[in-house]
Amino acid sequence: MTGLRDAMAALREPAAIEKTTKVEEPAPRRSLPANIPAPAKRPGRPPGKRSNPDYGQFTVLLKRATHQEAVDQLRHSSERRDFAELVQELLEKWLKQRK
């Protein structure tokens, strides 16, 4: 029993805690040598609006029927744009009129 008691007492001592909680610092980052070219971009999807800092995500409350009819009209039109582009265009026109 004394072995367990001694181990518990050692854990309570600040010196024992300092010894066991040593924090390792991360290794410094190394940059690539100048003669090695940067890796080429992989093919895939182009960056979207989510990764563009000019865009933000906002919440608006719309009537479901109005939203659904607008989305249906966009799907059936020859233009290839989404609902967000339509709202952006309408807001820009509205702001331009107000100036």
Asked if residue 92 is part of any domain, the answer here is: yes
Total of domains in the chain: 1
Can you give the pTM of this predicted structure? Answer: 0.52
Query: What is the SS3 string spanning 43-94?
Result: CCCCCCHHHCCCCCCCCCCCCHHHHHHHHHHHHHCCCCCCHHHHHHHHHHHH
Per-residue pLDDT tens digits for 5-19: 777 777 776 655 555
The reported pLDDT for the residue numbered 98 is 95
User: Does residue 18 fall inside a structural domain?
Assistant: no
Give the residue numbers spanning the domain of 62. Answer: 52-99
Q: Summarize pLDDT for 41-93 with one digit per residue, the tens.
A: 778 888 888 899 999 999 999 999 999 999 999 999 988 889 999 999 999 99
